Chain A
């Protein structure tokens, strides 16, 4: 078969061709091939001459057959690039060039196939394409533009993004000089000028955050970097990139502003604020919280928990609350907590703990807000006391008004009745009798008014001036004045109070109080028993307590206790009982911020306890 094909005499020349080349006759059989071709397709040392390409290659595409057929027809098909896998299945990119094969008579006798390994080229093309794509996309998304300056022809070129950043039209001509003018006068322009100069002269690179003013007059923040280019050590130009970071800078600034605002707010709120992580370790503490804990620097508390700051019991209580809030994800709001200080003072807090919940719905920690409400608590207490005092005063006042109206009415009723009788009476003797009664009534009315006036005086005395007096001295004065009734009753007074006891009182009030109680003891003595009156002293809290015990009639304290110190209450049916003495006593001792109580048993006697307040 080979004999049928004209053989080229310089067959060995073909064998030595540096390019892989094969001559195929019209029966698709290899007639001649260069050694390089055999090598490339692993036919070296094998018998491949005279074999059909369909025998030699596992796969021959229809496209390939058509290309060869076209060559047989005298056409010159375009070169094709195809991937080829050899036995080791290594990928190779090959460029196939097929041309018709003519004999000396210009007859087509087959086709010449030449292949070139273009794997490198293809790979580089792919790489370039990828890089270009990446550059474009990165530029587009990151607002990054790039430029290049060639010193030789003073050519300045840049990508589209640079124009967008500078806000210039496509036909605006940018050169190395006017590009610098876009930088904001002052720091930015100086910096870029120095950087370019240094790059040219000292081969340095640059990377700066600067401001530009665009062609439309907008200010923008840009990140610029660049480097000089050298060929054989000689400076040939510059390349650089410009990134528009205005949005980023603005966002960053906004975040900073917000953070600053928040920080200022948190630090100046009159509330203690902290943030804890899930382990109850502090992540943040504001000024008030630091002040409260007595810590100067926030860093000294960050990362610490309550066990580092409070006693164990308190810390455990707080930790339990934290865990409860974080597990339930329900905030604990306005819980009142008290803490006892070492100096005995009590601090009251209003505390809230709010769970911090992350994007995924999991708790990341909690925010705590505490307010020291000790002062308010104290005020509230004072207010309550004041209300209690006021309401008791009010009650007293109503009671007093009631008594006054009742007493005045009873006298005026008597007047009305007696005058009515007098007008209709004809009997002269009876007239005189009625006149006597009117006189008595009038006297009683005067006395009542006098008494009421005394009581009003005690209760309205705005500046009660208390003085330190020696108790026994005062007692002796009273006893001296009561000498006659004491002797008449054959009374014994036993004073168990030592001579150095002083009490702070209004002297006149004390005198009146003692006189009253001792006189009562004489008035209500047992008919056949000589009265014994015993005085003693005791100290209870802020009070000096003087107790006066008698062995008189006594009274049923269950029945009369509530009325004992009431106005116009008498209990024994004595005609000289007015029901005023103990009422006035009570008023006087209360006016001195003291109090009075009594114990009594029928047939045994009575005890009166006088509580003198040592404070003003």
Chain B
């Protein structure tokens, strides 16, 4: 009985939880990374979550994946203020990459500046990737919407 219940719950959870392949989190703030991961694991199931402390590390990994013909992440959480290569510089590099499939990029920033929102809009108009602007703190509902939109 108990086992049956557990199996049922597991089945239920499996069908309710969204299945997403790899997710990138590019942010130098460990607390934000922790938060995004915590919400993600509770709303969707995912093969792998990769963390990067700056844009440079993330773009290097993506370039490597293209060469190795590995499956690219379908979702990227991107901070703006980071050392070495910031979020904008990452976007500039990323949209230049020869990618057929659209990648969902979620900008997660503590900025509420209109200037930054306009900049994100501008990037959106330059590429086929989907770019979304979110202000911190990121909410569970927001991540649910994001994952629902992309899960298969």
| B148 contacts the other chain (CB 8 A) | no
CA distance A435 to B58 in the complex (A): 30
Kindly state the interface size class of chain B when it binds its partner. 20 to 34
Question: Could you tell me if B110 and A417 are in contact, using CB atoms closer than 8 angstroms?
Answer: no
Tell me if A249 counts as interface (CB < 8 A to partner B): no
Of residues 53 through 87 on chain B, the ones whose CB sits less than 8 Å from some CB of chain A are: 53-54, 56, 81, 83-84
Contact of A417 among B31, B53, B54, B56 (CB under 8 A): B31
Q: Do B35 and A421 touch (CB < 8 A)? A: yes
- Chain A residues with Cβ below 8 Å from B112 are 409
B5-43: CB near A (< 8 Å → 1, else 0) gives 000000000000000000000000101101100100000
Per-residue B-contact encoding for A425-448, CB less than 8 Å = 1, 0 else = 000000000000100110000000
Chain A residue with minimal CB distance to B56?
A573
Q: Number of contact residues on A: which range applies?
A: 20 to 34
Q: Does A571 contact B29, Cβ atoms closer than 8 Å?
A: no
Is A410 close to B, CB under 8 A? yes
| Contacting pair A418 B31 (CB below 8 A) | yes
B27 nearest CB across to chain A (Å): 10
A143 to B87, CA, bound (A): 105
Contact A420 B54, beta carbon cutoff 8 Å: no
Q: A568-B81, A572-B83 are in contact. Are A416 and B31 (CB under 8 A)?
A: no
List B contacts of A570 (CB < 8 A): 83-84
State the CA gap A406–B82 with chains docked (Å): 13
Task: Decide yes or no whether A413 CB sits under 8 A from chain B.
Answer: yes
Q: Output the least CB separation between A434 and chain B (Å).
A: 9
8 Å CB contact of B83 from A409, A421, A569? A569
Pick from A402, A410, A417, A572: contact of B35, CB below 8 A.
Answer: A417
Minimal beta-carbon separation of A395 from chain B (angstroms)? 14
A500 CB to nearest B CB, Å: 42
Task: Give chain A residues whose Cβ lies under 8 Å from the Cβ of B53.
Answer: 573
Contact between B32 and A577 (Cβ–Cβ < 8 Å)? Answer: no
Shortest distance between the CB of A196 and any CB in chain B (Å)? 105
Report the nearest B residue to A555, measured CB to CB.
B84
**CB <8 Å contact, B110 and A409:** yes
Contact B137 A414 (CB under 8 A): yes
Interface-central residue, B35, B38, B111, by most chain A CB under 10 Å: B35
- Please name the residue on chain A nearest to B112 by beta carbon: A409
Query: Using a Cβ cutoff of 8 Å, how many contacts connect chains A and B?
Result: 56
* In contact, B54 and A410 (Cβ under 8 angstroms): no
In the assembled complex, how far is the CB of residue B148 from the closest CB belonging to chain A, in whole angstroms?
A: 20
- Closest approach, in angstroms, between the C-beta of A38 and any C-beta of chain B? 136
Contact with A along B105-144 (1 / 0, CB 8 A): 0000011110000000000000000000001111000000
- CB contacts (< 8 Å) of B31 on chain A: these are 414, 417-418, 437, 440-441
Which of chain A's residues have a CB closer than 8 A to the CB of B81? Answer: 406, 410, 568
A568 to B80, CA, bound (A): 12
The interface centre, meaning the residue of B56, B135, B136 with most chain A CB atoms within 10 A of its CB, is: B136
**Nearest A residue to B110, CB-CB:** A410
Per-position contact with B for A560-576: 1 when CB-CB < 8 Å, else 0?
Answer: 00000000111111000
Nearest residue (CB) in B for A419 is B137
Query: A414, B84: Cβ atoms under 8 Å?
Result: no
Residue in A407, A409, A571, A577 whose Cβ sees the most chain B Cβ within 10 Å: A409
Judge whether B110 and A413 touch: CB under 8 Å: yes
Q: How far is the CB of A30 from chain B (nearest CB, A)?
A: 138
Question: Which of chain A's residues 563-614 have a Cβ closer than 8 Å to chain B?
Answer: 568-573, 577, 579
A577 and B84 alpha carbons, distance in the complex (Å): 11
B34, B38, B53, B137 — most chain A CB neighbours (10 Å): B137
Q: Which residues of A contact B135 (CB under 8 A)?
A: 413
Complex CA distance for A402 and B116, rounded to whole angstroms: 12
**Interface core residue of A413, A437, A577 (most chain B CB under 10 Å):** A413
**B136 A573 Cβ-Cβ under 8 A:** no
Cβ B110 vs Cβ A406 within 8 A? yes
Q: How far is it, in angstroms, between the C-alpha of A440 and the C-alpha of B31 when the chains are bound?
A: 9
A579: which B residues are within 8 A, CB to CB?
A: 83
CA distance A406 to B56 in the complex (A): 22
Contacts of A417 in B (CB 8 A): 31-32, 35, 136-138
Minimal beta-carbon separation of A566 from chain B (angstroms) = 11
Minimum C-beta distance from A539 to chain B (A): 36
Chain A residues near B84: list those with CB within 8 A.
570-573
- Give the shortest distance, in Å, between B138 (CB) and chain A (any CB): 7
B113 touches A573 (CB 8 A): no
Distance between A556 CB and nearest chain B CB, rounded to angstroms: 11
Instruction: Give the Cβ gap from B115 to chain A, nearest Cβ, in Å.
Output: 9
State the CA gap A272–B54 with chains docked (Å).
70
- Shortest CB-to-CB span from B122 to chain A, Å, is 19
Can you list, as one digit per residue, whether each of A49-93 has a CB less than 8 Å from chain B (1) or not (0)?
000000000000000000000000000000000000000000000
Given A413-B137, A414-B29, A420-B137, the answer on whether A573 and B34 have CB atoms closer than 8 Å is: no
Task: Determine how close the nearest CB of chain A comes to the CB of B92; give it in whole angstroms.
Answer: 12
* Interface 1/0 per residue, A390-429 and B, CB below 8 Å: 0000000000001000110110011011101100000000
Given A414-B29, A421-B35, A573-B53, answer yes or no on A406-B111 (Cβ-Cβ < 8 Å).
yes
Contacts of A410 in B (CB 8 A): 29, 81, 110, 136
Residues of B within 8 A of A416 (CB): 137
CA distance in complex: A377, B54 (Å): 52
Partner of A414, one of B32, B111, B113: B32
Rounded to whole Å, the gap between the CB of A476 and the closest CB of chain B is 33
Nearest B residue to A409 via CB reads: B110
- The complex places the Cα of A466 from the Cα of B141 at a distance, in Å, of 57
Nearest-neighbor residue (CB-CB) of B111 within chain A: A406
Expressed in whole angstroms, the minimum distance between the Cβ of A602 and any Cβ of chain B is 13
By a beta-carbon cutoff of 8 Å, the part of chain B in contact with chain A is: 29, 31-32, 34-35, 38, 53-54, 56, 81, 83-84, 110-113, 135-138
Point out residues on A near B: beta carbons under 8 Å: 402, 406-407, 409-410, 413-414, 416-418, 420-421, 437, 440-441, 568-573, 577, 579
30 example contacts (A-B, Cβ-Cβ < 8 A) are as follows A402-B113, A406-B81, A406-B110, A406-B113, A409-B110, A409-B112, A410-B81, A410-B136, A413-B32, A413-B136, A413-B137, A414-B31, A414-B32, A414-B35, A414-B136, A416-B137, A417-B31, A417-B35, A418-B31, A437-B34, A441-B31, A568-B81, A570-B84, A571-B83, A571-B84, A572-B83, A573-B53, A573-B83, A577-B83, A579-B83
